[in-house]
Structure 1
Amino acid sequence: MKTVISVRSMLLAAALLSSPITIFYGAALQAQSSTATAKVGILNREQAAAILPEKVFYRGLSAPIQARNSGGVRFADSKLVLTALVDTSGYSTAVKETYQAYLITEVPLMLGDQKLAPGAYGFGFIADDKMVVMDLGANQLLSTTTTRDAALPRPNPLQVLPDPGSASRYRLYLGRSYVTFEAAPKQN
């Protein structure tokens, strides 16, 4: 009888240890501990793609991100800004013009000269050197000016680079055009 109980106990323990809940929480704890020791600064596409969801929701549809065209920043408090180009093939032409990429921020940002609250957004670089940011329902929240960088040696479809003018500011590029961003100053 003791053998049967111990075999049942072992099977129950194995089932619990391999349950989706245990696996999820174990992965979450491992991610938290690695985040706490993670390096502050720019995340390359491999680092950003490992954190970003494979698909994102925007304007009633779910679309895959382009992991090879992603990037981000980890701030000193371990909070993140992540961005990636999105495959918008299922969207209307009007939406595709302004929705080229996805932005997730855990901190308030100064995006160019505009303040953006933490959240998930769609954005695009449009004519007249503008960047537009929309909520997930495709409602425009802000517009800011972009700058063309003719000296950029190797433009990628999307990349995040340091801004040479400030240690705390970054540049979000789509091709040769960019907008600067940084964590917004804390309000007292």
Structure 2
Amino acid sequence: MNSKMTLFRHLTATALLLIASVAHAATWHQATESELKTVIPARAPVISERIETEFRTASGIADTKGHIIAGVLLITAGYSANGKYSYFLLTQTPIKIADKTLAPGNYLIGWTRSDTELFVTISDAATGNPVVEVTAARNLEIHRVESFHIAPPGGMSVIQLGRFTFPYSLPEATR
């Protein structure tokens, strides 16, 4: 009976630790308009320019700790973007895309298109230097086409560009 009681206590302690760690972890949700307004700049810092953003295209996710990962369409008319960048991405916590973990900061998303996919380049916003490349596939599960959308982590952890998506993940410490 003593060994059963000891096992029960260990199992109970383990369960409580798991519950505590889950409760301590950040819970991510779709960012509200007011949350996005706190981080989306009217003019994004792009290399040596300040390029106007289209706030109605803004999308992001926020956690219970106050971190936001968000993006918005850049109004690039008159700039020499030529596929180098179309979107401004900011992250207040690390985010993993392809095989690269991006540090908190500002990034640019640009792409070129084939018939079936987008070849996406994510670059540092301050320098324009590429950081990671990923292929975005046409996603048949997407029923609402949006210029830019970030889905909360979990079921479909993707960044959406029109009808195309590519996956992302958050390091364990940020979940």
Question: TM-score, with normalisation over the residues of structure 2?
Answer: 0.72
Amino acid at match of 1:171: V
Classify the secondary structure of the residue corresponding to 2:79.
Answer: coil
Structure of greater Rg: 1
Contact preservation (8 Å) 1:45, 1:67: no
Amino acid at match of 1:159: H
Contact preservation (8 Å) 1:146, 1:178: yes
Contact preservation (8 Å) 1:49, 1:70: no
The 5-angstrom pairing of residues 82-93 of structure 1 reads 82-92=70-80
Residue of 142, 145, 160 corresponding to 2:150: 160
Cα distance in 1 for partners of 2:94, 2:59 equals: 18
Amino acid at match of 1:146: A
Q: Tell me the CA shift for residue 47 of structure 1.
A: 4.0
Contact preservation (8 Å) 2:149, 2:161: yes
Contact preservation (8 Å) 1:46, 1:68: no
Q: Does the alignment pair 1:132 with 2:146?
A: no
User: What residue is the counterpart of 1:104 in the other structure?
Assistant: 90
Identity of aligned residues (%): 20
Q: Tell me the CA shift for residue 49 of structure 1.
A: 3.5
User: What residue is the counterpart of 2:63 in the other structure?
Assistant: 75
Contact preservation (8 Å) 2:60, 2:151: no
User: What residue is the counterpart of 1:14 in the other structure?
Assistant: none
Cα distance in 2 for partners of 1:142, 1:151 equals: 25
Q: Tell me the CA shift for residue 151 of structure 1.
A: 3.7
Q: Does the alignment pair 1:113 with 2:99?
A: yes
User: What residue is the counterpart of 2:165 in the other structure?
Assistant: 178
User: What residue is the counterpart of 2:22 in the other structure?
Assistant: none
Q: What whole-Å deviation, never above 9, does each CA across 1:58-112 have from its counterpart, x for those lacking one?
A: 12211111101011111243211011011011311xx331200001111111123
Indicate how the Cα distance of structure 1 residues 186 and 139 shifts in structure 2: closer, same or farther if over 3 A, else same.
same
Q: Which moved more, 1:152-161 or 1:80-89?
A: 152-161
Q: Does the alignment pair 1:61 with 2:49?
A: yes
Cα distance in 1 for partners of 2:28, 2:141 equals: 26
Contact preservation (8 Å) 2:98, 2:133: no
Question: TM-score, with normalisation over the residues of structure 1?
Answer: 0.67
Cα distance in 1 for partners of 2:144, 2:40 equals: 24
The number of aligned residues is 144
Indicate how the Cα distance of structure 1 residues 45 and 97 shifts in structure 2: closer, same or farther if over 3 A, else same.
farther
Classify the secondary structure of the residue corresponding to 1:97.
Answer: coil
Q: What whole-Å deviation, never above 9, does each CA across 1:23-81 have from its counterpart, x for those lacking one?
A: xxxxxxxxxxxxxxxx8411155642453111111122111111010111112432110
